[in-house]
């Protein structure tokens, strides 16, 4: 991932509501969530405010939307999130793998490995 794209991603995540949205969508997995369900889960987001944040995240490449009937479903672009983590950790360790071990352990989960592939 190039630096400018990483900066756009981190800038989008640096706002509380947008960070909460991404974390919520990560939990929802590849199926994603309808915009209304996201708003309900957040509890404090007006429709226009939610739309603003979703658009910002979509422009940063962190989420995508699709229409299902009358609903707009949002989901995380997992390869982009993986790219941000890789961007931060690319030069980690400098020959000392024990430095990165806590990060690797934190990321070790029972997730579907296909989520990190580009689609």
Q: Is 21 inside any structural domain? A: yes
Task: Please tell me the predicted confidence (pLDDT) of residue 111.
Answer: 63
Q: Report the pLDDT averaged over residues 21-30.
A: 96
Q: Is 116 inside any structural domain? A: no
Task: Please tell me the predicted confidence (pLDDT) of residue 83.
Answer: 92
CB 70 within 8 A of CB 111: no
Q: Is 117 inside any structural domain? A: no
> Residue 58 belongs to a domain with what CATH number?
1.10.10.10
Q: Is 88 inside any structural domain? A: yes
Q: Is 87 inside any structural domain? A: yes
Considering its fold, how many domains does the chain have in total?
1
Q: Report the pLDDT averaged over residues 22-31.
A: 96
How sure is the predictor about 112, in pLDDT bands with cuts at 50, 70 and 90?
Answer: low
User: For the ranges 26-35, 76-85, 93-102, 104-113, which has the lowest average pLDDT?
Assistant: 104-113
Q: Beta-carbon neighbour count of residue 53 at 10 Å?
A: 22
Alpha carbon distance 18, 21 (integer Å): 5
Q: Which domain holds residue 29?
A: 1-111
Q: Is 118 inside any structural domain? A: no
Q: 0.85 cut: is pTM over it? A: no
């Amino acid at each position: 991932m190039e630096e400018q794209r990483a900066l756009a991603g981190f800038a989008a995540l640096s706002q509380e509501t947008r960070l909460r949205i991404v974390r919520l969508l990560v939990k929802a997995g590849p199926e994603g969530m309808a915009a209304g369900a996201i708003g309900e889960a957040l509890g404090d987001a007006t429709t226009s405010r939610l739309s603003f944040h979703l658009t910002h995240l979509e422009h940063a490449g962190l989420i995508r939307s699709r229409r299902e009937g009358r609903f707009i479903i949002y989901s995380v672009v997992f390869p982009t999130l993986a790219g941000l983590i890789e961007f931060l950790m690319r030069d980690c360790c400098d020959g000392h793998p024990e430095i990165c071990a806590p990060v690797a352990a934190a990321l070790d989960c029972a997730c579907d490995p296909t989520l990190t592939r580009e689609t």
